[in-house]
Amino acid sequence: MHMSRGAGESLADLAEEVRTLRQDVEVLRTIIDESPDVIVLKDHEGNFLLGNRLVAELYGTTPEQMVGKHDGDFSATAEQAEFFRQNVLSIMASGEMEIVLEDSTDDRTGETRHFKSIKKPFIGPQGKPNILVIAHDVTDIRRSQLQIETSERRLRYVLEATGDGIWDWHIPTGKVVYSDRWVEMFGYRPEEITGDLDDFEACLHPVDGDETMAAVREALTGNGSYGREHRVRRRDGKDIWVLDRGQVVERDEAGVAVRMVGSVADISERKKAEDELAAIAYIDLLTGLPNRRFLHERLQHVLARGIRLGNYSGLFYIDLDQFKMLNDTMGHGAGDRMLQLFGERLRDCVREMDTVARFGGDEFAILVEDLGDTAEGAMMAAVAIAKKINATCDAPFDLSSISHRITASVGITVMENEGDSAEEILMRADIAMYAAKSAGRNSARFFDPDIQAALTSRIALESDLRDALLAGDIRPVYQGIVDGCGRLVGAEALARWFHPNRGVIMPTDFIGLSEQTGQILDIGRAMLRATCEQLVQWRRSPETTALTIAVNVSARQFSEPDFVDHVLAILADTGAPPERLKLELIETMLVHDIDDVIAKMALLYAEGIEILLDDFGTGYCSLSYLQRLPLTGLKIDRSFVDGIHRSEGDSAIVRTIMALASNLGLSVVAEGVETTAQHEFLREHGCEMFQGYLFSRPGPVDDLQFA
């Protein structure tokens, strides 16, 4: 049979179209199968007309095997299959496209996945309704959202648990979200909060409010953060101190602040403790008189005033004669009572406007203003006061069960030179007092340039001290430090001058002079080197390798620019373990150039060296400084320990210091522990380490009990 040419061409064209169509179908099939979304086409009964590879894998079959079947033929239960079918019929009946979020659980694995589904009905080739389902797997997105929600919830819990009040300010709208703790801290009920910045501004203290808002505005336009301690007024009218901090966390394209968050912490108790310690800094707790620090500042004021007014004032330096004998024979209780009574009598010798101070130990001072406008008149007035001071000792002192008489040596200096400094005036009064003692005690002497004996002695001592440093005669003795169970945990290295003729000279007899002459630097270096060498010796024995040694650092020594380098050089040269070395600093170092102090301490701390604040409570140390300093511990001054059972003030100070150290994570060493009662009191209130005659007296290192 022969076909015409036209018929052959038509069949060829048709075959070509079929091939093209099949290719297009294959391309379409590939696109559908490679799609990351589930793609399903169902008829009006809910049967599959088409499914891509992804849905087939979810159902555990192939796209070809799905055609003509429904969900119930695969992993879906009968109930699920019927639900799917009814859902298809409902959408077909409405004729509206539906976008829904759905969950699907695989019965084989128990895994639940989340989908965002688009279901679109349309009329198929046979004129019957069909439905196209495209489902995008949003499981990872949903899980991320849940993780974010969980994190935010945990963050809220943490913020509430800190005790701080949190706020979140949307600056363009002025709306602020306040945490429950913030609302509680300011004494409001939740329904009373408007959610505006006005809520915060209404609580600002009238005195501090303008400066606080100025700090906020500066943060918005400046570096984006601020931090202030200021007062606020609660709804009930009570004023509290807060630490208020804020940080800009979002800006627009122009750099304008959009969002700021911050916190408010109640620091009222800390401020109260800080004020109490500040007051202690100017008061001698035993006598209630002003202390050396107060008198020094007052003296500076009087000198400046005297220069302006052209009048004279006088300083009286008073030392009780034979007071040590009283302490040794009758005990510290009688000695303390004597100091209290003597301080009261001194007050009666001068006017109320004059200053009577206790310098420490048995030394007192009186600053008398306006002695006269001529040198002769001022000296005559000073003589009259000195006679009153000596006369006040004529009557015996009632020391509870005994009556005791004592005398006093008085040094006097009249301030008349415009160039005089407070230190020079104090030195003159001190020299005059020693002249009175040299004259046989119970007398008074003016400072006079002719008092050369004291100066000659001072110069001789300075020369001897220089020779002692060269000969290595200034060496450490060691006083043990024990834990709560009495076990030795370390020692303090204490300087002693082993004089070839005068025997052992105590630090009180040469440290002051060495500070004035600058020789304290050489003494400090010698003590530090000897301490490190001893640590090396201890490191070689198992019973001593864990022991530490504390050594005092003077303010003059610490202020040297190369102090840190020198400490590290000694450690490297001797091979001493830095973690076994403790440096004890005094509070007065924190008064000047605190940033330099912190920087040096941080460098030492980074090397593993422990840093303690010695004689804590006797000076003035702001609590805000304590938070910034890399300290490891505090040492309670022996004067407070000595007065634990005699003075409510001393016992309260000790408890306060230990509570403060606990809150700051610092260790505590109590100095001057001499009685079992003191030891028990300190242990009961959390003290961890003890130093004093009850456990160990200063002496050679071999005297320490290592068991």
Distance CA(652)–CA(218), nearest Å, equals: 42
Q: How high is the pLDDT of residue 456?
A: 63
DSSP alpha helices (H): ranges in 579-674? 594-606, 623-628, 638-642, 648-664
Q: What is the number of structural domains in the chain?
A: 5
In this predicted structure, which of 83-87, 226-230, 657-661, 662-666 has the lowest mean pLDDT?
83-87
Q: How high is the pLDDT of residue 118?
A: 81
Q: What is the pLDDT of residues 340-361, one digit of tens each?
A: 999 999 999 999 889 999 988 8
10 Å Cβ neighbour count for 262? 24
CA angle at 293 for the pair 290 and 297, rounded to the nearest 5°:
100
Q: What is the pLDDT of residues 580-592, one digit of tens each?
A: 999 998 877 766 6
What one-character DSSP code corresponds to residue 107? T
- 215/356 same-domain check: no
Residue 680 within any structural domain of the chain? yes
Last residue in a domain, options 213, 241, 266: 266
Long-range contacts of 207-215 (CB under 8 A, 24+ apart): 207/231, 208/232, 212/244
Q: How high is the pLDDT of residue 160?
A: 57
Long-range contacts of 390-395 (CB under 8 A, 24+ apart): 390/442, 390/443, 390/444, 392/342, 392/345, 392/346, 392/348, 392/349, 393/342, 393/345, 393/442
Residue type, 142: R
239-251 and 408-415 beta bridge pairing = unpaired
Q: How high is the pLDDT of residue 609?
A: 95
Q: Which two tokens stand for residue 472?
A: 């290595």
Last residue in a domain, options 422, 450, 478: 450
- 512/635 same-domain check: yes
- Nearest alpha carbon to residue 580 among 606, 607, 553, 546: 546
- 502/476 same-domain check: yes
- 334/432 same-domain check: yes
Residue 457 within any structural domain of the chain? no
In this predicted structure, which of 9-23, 234-248, 318-332 has the lowest mean pLDDT?
9-23
What's the rounded mean pLDDT across residues 317-338? Answer: 88
The pLDDT of residue 633 is above 60: yes
In this predicted structure, which of 50-54, 366-370, 597-601, 639-643 has the lowest mean pLDDT?
50-54
Give the three-state DSSP class for 549. Answer: strand
What's the rounded mean pLDDT across residues 514-524? Answer: 88
Q: How high is the pLDDT of residue 449?
A: 66
The pLDDT of residue 704 is above 70: yes
Q: Which two tokens stand for residue 551?
A: 């050594």
State what percent of residues in the chain have pLDDT above 70.
Answer: 89
- 230/203 same-domain check: yes
Assess contact for 508 and 461: CB atoms under 8 A.
no
Q: What is the CATH number of the domain that holds 129?
A: 3.30.450.20
Q: What is the CATH number of the domain that holds 392?
A: 3.30.70.270
DSSP alpha helices (H): ranges in 507-622? 511-517, 520-539, 555-558, 563-574, 594-606
Q: How high is the pLDDT of residue 624?
A: 66
Residue 174 zone, left/alpha/beta (φ > 0; ψ -120 to 50; rest): left
Assess contact for 85 and 97: CB atoms under 8 A.
no
Exposure class string for 504-531: b at 16+ Cβ within 10 A, else e: ebeeeebbeebbeeebbbbbbbbbbbbb
Q: What is the pLDDT of residues 602-628, one digit of tens each?
A: 999 999 999 998 878 665 556 667 778
Cβ-based burial of 561 (10 A; exposed 0-12, middle 13-18, buried ≥19): exposed
The pLDDT of residue 4 is above 60: no
What's the rounded mean pLDDT across residues 123-127? Answer: 71
Residue 81 within any structural domain of the chain? yes
Q: What is the rounded average pLDDT for all residues in the chain?
A: 84
- 100/180 same-domain check: no
Question: Which stretch of DSSP H or E encloses residue 137?
Answer: strand 129-137
The pLDDT of residue 560 is above 60: yes
The pLDDT of residue 5 is above 80: no
| 377: confidence class by pLDDT, cuts 50, 70, 90 | confident
- Can you name the residues that pair with 50 across neighbouring β-strands? 41
In this predicted structure, which of 50-59, 83-92, 316-325, 473-482 has the lowest mean pLDDT?
83-92
The pLDDT of residue 81 is above 60: yes
Assess contact for 200 and 242: CB atoms under 8 A.
no
Higher pLDDT, 79 or 465: 465
Last residue in a domain, options 266, 297, 328: 266
Q: How high is the pLDDT of residue 339?
A: 93
- 235/286 same-domain check: no
In this predicted structure, which of 80-89, 236-245, 448-457, 555-564 has the lowest mean pLDDT?
448-457
Q: How high is the pLDDT of residue 164?
A: 83
- 445/482 same-domain check: no
10 Å Cβ neighbour count for 294? 17
Contacts of 129 (CB under 8 A, 6+ apart): 44, 92, 121, 122, 123
| 677: confidence class by pLDDT, cuts 50, 70, 90 | very high
Looking at mean pLDDT, say which of 104-108, 414-418, 489-493 comes out highest: 489-493
| 1: confidence class by pLDDT, cuts 50, 70, 90 | very low
Distance CA(173)–CA(502), nearest Å, equals: 81
Q: How high is the pLDDT of residue 130?
A: 80
Distance CA(74)–CA(704), nearest Å, equals: 86
- 478/571 same-domain check: yes
Long-range contacts of 197-203 (CB under 8 A, 24+ apart): 197/169, 200/167, 200/176, 203/232, 203/233, 203/234, 203/235
Looking at mean pLDDT, say which of 41-45, 278-282, 615-619, 667-671 comes out highest: 667-671
What one-character DSSP code corresponds to residue 111? -
Residue type, 80: Q
DSSP one-letter string for 377-428: HHHHHHHHHHHHHHHTTSSPEEETTEEE---EEEEEEEE--TT--HHHHHHH
- 306/414 same-domain check: yes
What's the rounded mean pLDDT across residues 183-206? Answer: 85
Residue 153 within any structural domain of the chain? no
Q: What is the CATH number of the domain that holds 599?
A: 3.20.20.450
Assess contact for 257 and 171: CB atoms under 8 A.
yes
Q: What is the pLDDT of residues 412-462, one digit of tens each?
A: 998 865 667 888 889 889 989 988 888 888 888 888 766 545 556 677 788
- Nearest alpha carbon to residue 264 among 221, 224, 216, 222: 216
DSSP alpha helices (H): ranges in 108-179? 139-161
Domain that residue 312 falls in:
276-450
What's the rounded mean pLDDT across residues 75-79? Answer: 70
Residue 599 within any structural domain of the chain? yes
What's the rounded mean pLDDT across residues 300-322? Answer: 81
Phi then psi dihedrals of residue 135, to 5 deg: -120, 125
Residue 326 within any structural domain of the chain? yes
- 491/628 same-domain check: yes
Task: Give the pTM.
Answer: 0.41
* 676-684 helix and 648-664 helix, angle to the nearest 10 degrees: 40
What's the rounded mean pLDDT across residues 253-260? Answer: 89
- 571/511 same-domain check: yes
The pLDDT of residue 175 is above 50: yes
Q: How high is the pLDDT of residue 27?
A: 74
Q: How high is the pLDDT of residue 452?
A: 45
Residue 463 within any structural domain of the chain? no
Contacts of 360 (CB under 8 A, 6+ apart): 284, 291, 292
State what percent of residues in the chain have pLDDT above 90.
Answer: 28
DSSP alpha helices (H): ranges in 439-478? 452-471
Q: How high is the pLDDT of residue 623?
A: 67
